[in-house]
């Protein structure tokens, strides 16, 4: 996808060049909290200009259009209180013409815009463009001026670039920040191929409610809307024309209702901007979903959704048994138990399962160890016990093993777990396992799944088809025989020479055994100490 506007550069090239105008590509990710709101505001300014021009065409002048918009702010989606000295000038020129105390001026304008638009509060006004550290400006006026000038070279209005193109370009910028973001990148970004596969397999339909409890920059929610629109376009019969290029009876259509929660304030702001710039309306809440999920029904219980997508941080170890025991939302069934302190992966799966309605489906990205740890070990394992509960109750529809080095904060492959509360009769007591570890191309700095690879994986999962060295349908008896190990790499070998599971997976299991033994030892010592027995 490329879109040219103004100077011949693709929109993606322009948006990245603008980001690099501060200190080059290497340092651009450090300044994402400045760059993203400015590009977002440029889009708001240019769209506001288009709306003013539409009003001016009816009332005779831009000056009158400004007056009308100020008097009745419902005439525009976002009212921007930026009035150029010459009303014929673009609204963005108020920011572009700042020449003194630029950081202070930009901060003031951002806060003024947010005051006029409650939807933008906390989103574009949270950054201080005049901030200092030990008396040194974090972003000095010269560099800020360069950034503003670089952003000014393209127009981002309604007639210049469609919402989906500016949205894709904005996501491209977020991806470029993720490439240089190191460990922090995984907190806000899921590789687009993974999100595309997840959303296409879930097949969201018009008007459905979609939820992401760990939404990051909102990419998975956006992918669901795109997948739904792709399906809708594919379903529209082209031949029944009414003579004007339309349909005699076009099918009814409603956008998805998107809901997300994010813990980090900066990432929460990023998700909101991403949603608005894609021209998608959603509700993104801020806070710790695990301890305080914000989406509740009128009875105060957990709200449920048609689809859930998520990529929670892997192997979170800061939740204790007390956090699970204190839960008042029936997220952790007694029969399943708690997954243990070393990894909250299955704790997140339990939350996601509890967030599905009676016919709901989910796709969640997990560490590969989550689908195998504890299986084959002597004694009990908390994580395996929760996994077994999901297999016993037949809520797992499929497991996808991904290629390695896709994610920005790890080289580990990861898996996608697909849940279904209402599996089709012919799929009951069986799970589709897909080992896509070899479907990738080398990239810099990360590998990626090409378009034909995404199609192959998606078709396999949707059609539930078996293919040698790629996919197998495994029944409950075999899963039980393998002690509820549901890793595709355990059942599907991708080459003739491969007879062993990946070393990383085995190491993870050994670490889990060692940790379990340590926890058991500590518990035994505590009991003996209470009994007054010395050891």
Question: Tens-of-pLDDT digits for all 535 residues of the chain?
Answer: 444 444 446 899 999 999 999 888 788 888 999 999 999 999 999 999 999 999 999 999 999 999 999 999 999 999 999 999 999 999 999 999 999 999 999 999 999 999 999 999 999 999 999 999 999 999 999 999 999 999 999 999 998 998 888 998 998 998 888 887 665 566 778 999 999 999 999 999 999 999 999 999 999 999 999 999 998 887 765 443 334 344 445 556 789 999 999 999 999 999 999 999 999 989 999 999 999 999 999 999 999 999 999 999 999 998 988 889 989 999 998 889 899 888 999 999 999 999 999 999 999 999 999 999 988 776 678 999 999 999 999 999 999 999 999 998 888 999 999 999 999 999 999 999 999 999 999 988 899 999 999 999 999 999 999 999 999 999 999 999 999 999 999 999 877 544 445 555 666 666 666 666 666 677 677 777 777 766 5
Contact 324, 332 (CB under 8 A): yes
Rg (CA), the chain: 26
The architecture in CATH of the region 181-231+252-512 reads 3-Layer(aba) Sandwich (3.40)
Question: Which residues contact residue 126 at a Cβ distance below 8 angstroms, ignoring those fewer than 6 apart?
Answer: 265, 266, 269
Asked whether the whole model's pTM tops 0.85, one would answer: yes
Q: Which residues pair with 420 in a beta bridge?
A: 361
* Geometric angle at alpha carbon 84, from 63 and 95, rounded to 5°: 150
CATH class (in words) of the domain with range 11-176:
mainly alpha
Contact 451, 230 (CB under 8 A): no
CA gap 26, 374 in Å, rounded = 42
Q: Which residues pair with 366 in a beta bridge?
A: 415
Q: Tokens 């992401």 belong to which residue?
A: 212
Q: Which residues pair with 396 in a beta bridge?
A: 419
CA gap 42, 59 in Å, rounded = 25
Longest Cα–Cα distance of the chain, Å, equals 92
Domain boundaries, the chain: 11-176, 181-231+252-512
State the DSSP H helix or E strand holding residue 224, giving kind and residue range, or none if neither: helix 219-235
Residue 238 burial (C-beta neighbours within 10 Å; 0-12, 13-18, 19+): exposed
Q: What b-and-e string marks burial along 309-320, b requiring 16 or more CB atoms within 10 Å of the CB?
A: bbbbebbeeebe
Q: Which residues pair with 267 in a beta bridge?
A: none
């Amino acid at each position: 996808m490329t879109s040219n506007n103004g100077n011949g550069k693709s929109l993606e090239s322009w948006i990245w060049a603008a980001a690099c105008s501060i200190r080059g590509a290497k340092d651009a990710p450090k300044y994402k909290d400045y760059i993203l709101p400015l590009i977002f505001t440029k889009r708001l300014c240019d769209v506001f200009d288009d709306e003013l021009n539409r009003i001016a065409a009816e009332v005779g002048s831009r000056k009158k259009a400004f007056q009308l918009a100020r008097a009745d702010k419902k005439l525009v989606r976002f009212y921007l209180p930026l009035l150029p000295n010459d009303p014929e000038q673009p609204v963005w020129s108020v920011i572009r013409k700042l020449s003194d105390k630029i950081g202070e001026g930009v901060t003031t304008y951002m806060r003024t815009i947010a005051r006029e638009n409650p939807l933008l509060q906390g989103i574009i006004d949270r950054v201080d463009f005049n901030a200092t550290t030990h008396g040194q400006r974090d972003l000095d006026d010269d560099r800020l001026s360069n950034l503003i000038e670089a952003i000014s070279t393209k127009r981002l209005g309604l007639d210049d670039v469609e919402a989906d193109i500016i949205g894709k370009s904005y996501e491209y910028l977020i991806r470029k920040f993720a490439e240089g973001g190191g460990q922090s990148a995984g907190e806000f970004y899921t590789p687009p191929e993974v999100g595309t596969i997840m959303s296409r397999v879930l097949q969201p339909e018009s008007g459905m409610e979609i939820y992401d409890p760990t939404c990051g920059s909102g990419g998975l929610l956006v992918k669901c809307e795109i997948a739904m629109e792709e399906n809708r376009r594919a379903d529209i019969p082209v031949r029944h024309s009414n003579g004007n290029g339309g349909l005699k009876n076009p099918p009814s259509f409603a956008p998805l209702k998107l809901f997300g929660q994010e813990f980090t304030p900066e990432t929460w702001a990023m998700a909101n901007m991403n949603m608005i710039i894609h021209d998608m309306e959603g509700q993104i809440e801020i806070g710790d979903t695990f301890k305080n999920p914000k989406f509740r029904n009128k009875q105060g219980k957990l709200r449920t959704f048609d689809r859930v997508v998520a990529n929670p941080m892997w192997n979170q170890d800061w939740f204790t048994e007390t956090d699970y025991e204190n839960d008042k939302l029936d997220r952790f069934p007694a029969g399943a138990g708690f997954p243990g302190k070393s990894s909250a992966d299955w704790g997140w799966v339990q939350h996601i399962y509890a967030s599905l309605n009676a016919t709901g489906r989910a796709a969640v990205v997990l560490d590969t160890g989550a689908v195998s740890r504890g299986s084959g070990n002597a004694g009990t394992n908390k994580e395996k016990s929760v996994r077994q509960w999901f297999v016993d109750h037949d809520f797992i529809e499929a497991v996808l093993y991904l290629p390695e080095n896709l994610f920005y904060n790890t080289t580990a492959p990861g898996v996608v777990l697909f849940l279904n509360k209402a599996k089709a009769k012919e799929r009951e007591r069986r799970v589709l396992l897909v080992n896509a570890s070899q479907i990738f191309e080398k990239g810099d700095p990360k590998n990626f799944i090409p378009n034909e690879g995404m199609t192959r994986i998606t078709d396999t999962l949707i059609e539930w088809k078996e293919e040698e060295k790629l996919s197998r349908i495994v029944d409950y008896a075999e899963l039980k025989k393998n002690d509820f190990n549901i890793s595709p790499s355990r059942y599907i070998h991708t080459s003739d020479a491969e007879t062993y599971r990946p070393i990383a997976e085995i190491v993870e299991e050994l670490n889990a055994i060692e940790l379990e033994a340590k926890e058991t030892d500590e518990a035994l010592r505590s009991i003996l100490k209470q009994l007054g027995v010395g050891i």
